[in-house]
């Protein structure tokens, strides 16, 4: 058995060449290189390489390997990002091991930015969006003038119909995304929604063109359905009175709010945040907040709680209807989009300027 490095002081000691001492920004898969002996006598037949994260601590090692034949360099498979490393080498000849080389330090490069994951129907064959609006009586939120399921419409609406229209109705919209391809909630650094303005019906088009909307986390399961108009909800479908027909909301219009996880509620009482809805064809709206990012993380960690969000007008009395393109919109870039920035990988990685933005 060969003796340990350091027992043969007469053998030439390797001289580290690369990475050089004190260099930063080194690839996490570096090649360690030492000078090759100049003489022909006692040429080494093997080399031993060690890397540690703690100066002068050669017991807890990141890397410890011997190589044969190739004694001038070794390729390292992977080191941590942004890590200070110390490395050294020793040679073996027919007599034994040389002393260790001097220890040389380097710092690996910082972790690359998070991957951008795009969840939007039609992007890379994704079809996990579900969205729908429901309509209630603007003058009496416990009732609905037309308790329809409208899951197949190309529009999501919020707000209250103007006084120029024959019926006083209010709209609320539901939106959720299947993000089950992600499994690491702690890898998420950011998340946001991108919505697009749309003109579904000129009569519903607002006079001001913008209104403050609030976003709430939904606490109950709901199903989009396949209605367009003049169609009451069928089994499992959503409407003003039903989250899944014949199962009813706690209060019509998903109105019952509570932050108590032990209480049966339709939505959380505290909004995830607000944004200004713009009812102009092609207008882009972006929504995010710390609470929204936390909700997305929780949906990744606990996918069975992913019931998505409810979007409604912040001021119910305002007689303005906001029109937003739904997942059924024929233009792919107009459909609702959830962007998640995460250090995890998925097949829906992309660039936010590709496909989804005009």
84-121 pLDDT tens trace: 999 999 988 878 888 999 999 999 987 777 889 999 99
DSSP 208: S
* For residue 19, cis peptide bond before it (omega within 30 degrees of 0): yes
323 and 246 share one domain: yes
- Please report whether residue 5 resides in a domain: no
211-235 burial, b for 16+ CB within 10 Å, e for fewer? bebbbbbbbbbbbbbebeeebebee
95 and 129 share one domain: no
98 and 239 share one domain: no
- Please report whether residue 291 resides in a domain: yes
Do 151 and 132 meet the contact criterion of CB atoms below 8 Å apart? yes
10-49 pLDDT tens trace: 577 889 999 989 998 888 889 999 987 666 556 788 899 9
103 and 140 share one domain: no
193 and 267 share one domain: yes
- Please report whether residue 351 resides in a domain: no
* Domain end residue (candidates: 77, 108, 139): 108
- Please report whether residue 159 resides in a domain: yes
Look up the domain containing 104 and give its range.
Answer: 16-108
In terms of residues, how long is the chain? 358
- Please report whether residue 1 resides in a domain: no
Could you tell me the CATH number of the domain that includes residue 83?
2.60.40.10
308 and 189 share one domain: yes
Q: Which of 145, 167, 177 is nearest to 253 (CA)?
A: 145
268 and 155 share one domain: yes
pTM, rounded to two decimals: 0.70
207 and 333 share one domain: yes
88 and 119 share one domain: no
165 and 233 share one domain: yes
140 and 284 share one domain: yes
Do 251 and 174 meet the contact criterion of CB atoms below 8 Å apart? no
C-alpha 128/C-alpha 292 separation (Å) is 19
Those residues with Cβ within 8 angstroms of residue 304's Cβ, 6 or more apart along the chain or in another chain = none
Count of structural domains, the chain: 2
pLDDT band of residue 357 (cuts 50, 70, 90) is very low
pLDDT for 2 equals 43
- Please report whether residue 357 resides in a domain: no
156 and 218 share one domain: yes
* Domain end residue (candidates: 73, 108, 143): 108
């Amino acid at each position: 058995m060969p003796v340990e490095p350091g027992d043969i002081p007469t053998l030439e000691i390797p001289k580290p060449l690369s990475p050089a001492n004190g260099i930063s920004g080194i690839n996490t898969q570096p090649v360690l290189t030492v000078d090759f002996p100049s003489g022909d006598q006692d040429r080494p037949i093997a080399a031993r390489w060690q890397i540690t994260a703690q100066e002068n601590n050669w017991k807890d090692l990141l890397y410890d390997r011997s190589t044969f034949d190739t004694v001038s360099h070794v390729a390292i498979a992977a080191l941590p990002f942004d890590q200070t490393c110390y490395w050294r080498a020793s040679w073996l000849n027919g007599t034994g091991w040389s002393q260790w080389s001097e220890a040389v330090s380097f710092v690996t490069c910082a972790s690359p930015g998070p991957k951008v994951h795009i969840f939007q129907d039609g992007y890379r064959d994704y079809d996990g969006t579900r969205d729908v609006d429901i309509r209630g009586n603007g003058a009496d939120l416990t009732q609905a003038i037309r308790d329809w399921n409208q899951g197949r419409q190309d529009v999501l609406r919020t707000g209250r119909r103007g006084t120029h229209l024959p019926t006083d109705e209010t709209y609320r919209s539901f939106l959720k995304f299947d993000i089950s391809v992600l499994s690491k909630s702690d890898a998420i650094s950011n998340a946001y929604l991108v919505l697009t303005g749309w003109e579904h019906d000129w009569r519903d088009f607002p006079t001001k063109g913008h209104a403050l909307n609030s976003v709430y986390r939904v606490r109950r399961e709901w199903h989009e359905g396949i209605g367009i108009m003049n169609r009451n909800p069928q089994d499992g479908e959503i409407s003003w009175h039903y989250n899944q027909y014949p199962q009813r909301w706690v209060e019509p219009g998903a109105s019952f709010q509570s932050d108590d996880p032990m209480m049966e509620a339709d939505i959380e009482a505290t909004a995830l945040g607000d944004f200004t809805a713009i009812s102009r064809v092609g207008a882009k709206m972006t929504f995010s907040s710390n609470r929204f990012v936390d909700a997305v993380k929780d949906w990744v960690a606990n996918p069975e709680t992913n019931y998505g969000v409810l979007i409604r007008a912040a001021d119910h009395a305002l007689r303005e209807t906001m029109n937003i393109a739904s997942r059924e919109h024929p233009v792919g870039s107009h459909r609702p989009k959830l962007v998640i920035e995460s250090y995890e990988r998925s097949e829906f990685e992309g660039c936010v300027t590709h496909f989804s933005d005009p």
